[in-house]
Amino acid sequence: RRHGQVFTAKTNRVTSFTLLLSPDFVDFAMPVKVVVNDEVVFDAVVQPDLKFLVTQALEDEDRRLIYAAKIVVEVPRKAAKKK
């Protein structure tokens, strides 16, 4: 889920995931926060990456939504374990 610059995820048996960021949804001048299983795992300003944007656009072949950056999220170890 996304609320402004905050992305929240609930996971089970997941060790990592990639969050793709679009300038349509994220203000790259402001910090982006990622919360996984109630734990903040990322909180920083993300810089757009032109090389990533071009590569992702060529892979997706979808000109309606452009991703300018990505965050590789490592799920906290205790959250990745089965309860």
Strand 31-36 to 6-9 pairing: parallel
39-62: pLDDT as tens digits: 999 999 999 998 888 888 788 777
Averaged pLDDT, 33-44: 96
Work out the mean pLDDT of the chain and round it to a whole number.
89
pLDDT interval class at 21 (50, 70, 90): very high
On the question of pLDDT at 67 being above 60, the answer is yes
pLDDT interval class at 82 (50, 70, 90): low
Query: What is the 3 state secondary structure string of 29-46?
Result: CCEEEEEECCEEEEEEEC
Distance CA 83, CA 71 (A): 26
Amino acid making up residue 50:
L
